[in-house]
């Protein structure tokens, strides 16, 4: 769906991935506590961080890749509920939109309960949503269960996993981000095979029930995401001698204060208004998401509508996943080199442009060979885009504001993620042609790439011009006081001349 950073995000956020201890509530008059001076955390850049990285990869495989696999059951859902393309496409659309739009609520949970508990709760919620959806009697039921409940569970698992990974890695963060993004590719490799097998054996209802059980594995991944240990222990607590409000009143007041502060902290509207680069990047990504994930939803229905065997159509998604698994680690190592520092946005934009143009390949034919060429081109460019998205965001904002920037960006892109697939469904219903969907996606994504590339080039050129026009740091400073033209400060030579002329005057007077 990311400046350079302090040693960890918690160094600025005061323990974002672990709830505040009770000592903080006992603060009273006296010396300042640790809440006034947040505890610094050491990012190990290894050690248990590798376990957290593996867990994050699995969480991303089970969450981000899942909406694309709904396409395997797309035609069955249409027939079961007698729904149009537009109505059916709302199911993965709502799931993907809620996955991103739940960011601020997820941040509140992370602030209160920590990353580990939030990821585990998300696993329970997503598994419950998919299991209940197997008993749906209408397409509206699927909107609520598969779309809202499961999507919200995905959000609660995905975002804390990405956040805590940033705490464990600083020096190797680009590599860790690239490796974690292979989780999406891993999901694209395995979930289509699993979904196709379950579909052939159990139908869509039995498949949804089993997939709900599979999603419970997010709880296992969340259990290993222990918080980063503080660099030094907290100071001794200071007991409060003042009166405290009654229990219920204090609890209610605390909830409202927490909600208000969370909205300010996790919805970076001030950053959107003050940071032009973040504003441009947010608008570009929002524009991009209008057509970026739509081809993944309609690829299997497009191939199946042209009499391709469903197993071969699912194989296309798996090939896309394999390409991502191979390319993303290489991309992570390559773009961690010092030469690419400051150039990530241009590589990202170029890959996004190629990704958009590759969608037009589907307009040639629906044969397996042509679609295989499309999947390879799309997969290569998608690997670069997915590996660099969080890195570019981290290059654009300060690391202390990364969680709030990610929350606002998630809200913005959820709007286009929500309306993209249904708009494509309307296009299919009115034209009876899937090729127009891929053509529209090609135009939308390519234009967003050009917008990002040109905008950041203009910003870099402007900043370079301002830097060159500013006075050099080593130039002498202007005098603070302008002395009158007829006044002067005597030097050693002037003093000697004055003494000589005075001696001559005295000699003349004596004579």
Give the separation between CA 50 and CA 165, rounded to whole angstroms: 9
What average pLDDT score do residues 154-159 get? 89
Residue 16, both tokens: 């974002």
Q: At 435, which helix (H) or strand (E)? A: helix 435-469
The DSSP secondary-structure symbol of 230 reads B
Give residue 13's pLDDT band: very low, low, confident or very high (50, 70, 90): very low
8 A C-beta contact, residue 119 and residue 215: no
Say if residue 439's pLDDT is above 90. yes
Give the contacts of 466 (CB within 8 A, at least 6 positions apart): none
Q: How far is CA 350 from CA 233, 293, 378, 382, 445, in A?
A: 46, 18, 13, 11, 11
Residue extent(s) of CATH 1.20.1250.20 domains in the chain:
41-230, 267-466
8 A C-beta contact, residue 177 and residue 56: no
CB-based burial, 234-271: b 16+ in 10 Å, e otherwise: eeebeeeeeeeeeeeeeeeeeeeeeeeebeebbbbeeb
Q: Is 19 left (phi over 0), alpha (psi -120 to 50) or beta?
A: beta
Give the separation between CA 351 and CA 489, rounded to whole angstroms: 66
Question: In the beta sheet, which residues pair with residue 41?
Answer: 230
- The three-class DSSP label of residue 65 is coil
Q: How far is CA 15 from CA 34, 38, 47, 133, 395, in A?
A: 11, 7, 20, 37, 22
Q: Which pLDDT belongs to residue 298?
A: 87
Does the 41-230 domain belong in CATH 1.20.1250.20?
A: yes
**Max mean pLDDT range (154-163, 405-414, 462-471, 491-500):** 154-163
Q: Is 82 left (phi over 0), alpha (psi -120 to 50) or beta?
A: left
pLDDT of 33-53, one tens digit each?
333 344 445 567 778 888 989
pLDDT of 470-479, one tens digit each?
655 444 444 4
Say if residue 154's pLDDT is above 60. yes
Q: How does DSSP assign 494-509, residue by residue?
A: HHHHHHHHHHHHHHHH
8 A C-beta contact, residue 104 and residue 266: yes
Give residue 354's pLDDT band: very low, low, confident or very high (50, 70, 90): very high
Q: How far is CA 65 from CA 171, 187, 376, 403, 457, in A?
A: 28, 5, 17, 22, 32
What average pLDDT score do residues 256-280 get? 74
Lowest mean pLDDT among 50-54, 158-162, 283-287, 406-410: 406-410
Residue 27, both tokens: 């603060």
pLDDT of 411-426, one tens digit each?
888 889 889 888 998 9
Q: Which pLDDT belongs to residue 127?
A: 93
Question: In the beta sheet, which residues pair with residue 230?
Answer: 41
Say if residue 356's pLDDT is above 90. yes
Give the separation between CA 465 and CA 480, rounded to whole angstroms: 28
How many CB atoms are closer than 10 A to CB 91? 28
CB-based burial, 369-380: b 16+ in 10 Å, e otherwise: eebebbbebbbb
pTM above 0.75, yes or no: no
Angle made by CA atoms 190, 194, 196, in degrees to the nearest 5? 120
Q: Which pLDDT belongs to residue 370?
A: 92
Say if residue 105's pLDDT is above 50. yes
The CATH number of the domain covering residues in 267-466: 1.20.1250.20
What average pLDDT score do residues 230-246 get? 47
């Amino acid at each position: 769906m990311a400046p350079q950073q302090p040693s960890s995000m918690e160094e600025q956020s005061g323990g974002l991935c672990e709830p505040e201890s009770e000592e903080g509530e006992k603060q009273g008059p006296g010396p300042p506590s640790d809440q006034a001076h947040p505890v610094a955390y050491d990012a190990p850049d290894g050690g248990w961080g590798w376990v957290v990285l593996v867990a994050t990869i699995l969480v991303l495989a089970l969450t981000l890749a899942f909406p694309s696999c709904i396409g395997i059951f797309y035609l069955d859902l249409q027939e079961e509920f007698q729904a149009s393309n537009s109505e059916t496409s709302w199911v993965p659309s709502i799931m993907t939109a809620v996955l991103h739009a739940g960011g601020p609520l997820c941040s509140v949970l992370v602030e209160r309960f920590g990353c580990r508990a939030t990821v585990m709760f998300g696993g329970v919620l997503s598994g419950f949503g998919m299991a209940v959806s197997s008993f749906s009697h209408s397409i509206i039921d699927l909107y609520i269960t598969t779309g809202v409940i499961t999507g919200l569970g995905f959000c609660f698992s995905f975002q804390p996993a990405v956040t805590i990974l940033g705490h464990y890695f600083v020096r190797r963060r680009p590599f860790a981000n690239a490796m974690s993004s292979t989780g999406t590719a891993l999901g694209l490799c395995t979930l289509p095979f699993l979904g196709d097998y379950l579909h052939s054996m159990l139908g869509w209802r039995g498949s949804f029930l089993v997939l709900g059980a599979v999603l419970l594995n997010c709880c296992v991944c969340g259990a290993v995401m222990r918080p980063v240990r503080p660099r030094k222990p907290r100071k001794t607590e200071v007991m409060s001698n003042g009166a405290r409000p009654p229990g219920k009143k204090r609890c209610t007041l605390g909830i409202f204060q927490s909600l208000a502060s969370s909205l300010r902290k996790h919805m970076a509207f001030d950053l959107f208004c003050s940071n032009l680069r973040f504003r441009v990047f947010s608008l570009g990504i929002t524009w991009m998401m209008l057509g970026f994930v739509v081809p993944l939803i309609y690829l299997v229905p497009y191939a199946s509508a042209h009499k391709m065997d469903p197993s071969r159509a699912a194989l296309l998604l798996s090939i896309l996943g394999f390409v991502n698994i191979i390319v993303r680690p290489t991309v992570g190592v390559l773009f961690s080199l010092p030469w690419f520092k400051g150039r990530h946005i241009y590589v990202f934009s170029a890959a996004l442009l190629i990704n958009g143009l590759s969608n037009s390949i589907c307009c040639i034919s629906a044969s397996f060979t042509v679609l295989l060429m499309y999947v390879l081109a799309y997969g290569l460019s998608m690997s670069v885009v997915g590996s660099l998205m969080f890195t570019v965001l981290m290059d654009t904002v300060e690391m202390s504001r990364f969680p709030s920037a990610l929350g606002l960006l998630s809200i913005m892109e959820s709007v286009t993620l929500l309306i993209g697939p249904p708009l494509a469904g309307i296009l299919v219903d009115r034209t009876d042609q899937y090729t127009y969907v891929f053509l529209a996606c090609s135009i939308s994504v390519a234009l967003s790439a050009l917008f990002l590339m040109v905008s950041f080039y203009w910003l870099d050129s402007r900043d370079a011009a301002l830097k060159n026009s500013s006075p050099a740091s080593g130039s002498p400073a202007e005098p603070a006081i302008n002395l009158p033209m007829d006044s002067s400060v005597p030097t050693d030579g002037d003093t000697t001349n004055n003494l000589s002329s005075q001696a001559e005057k005295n000699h003349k007077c004596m004579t």
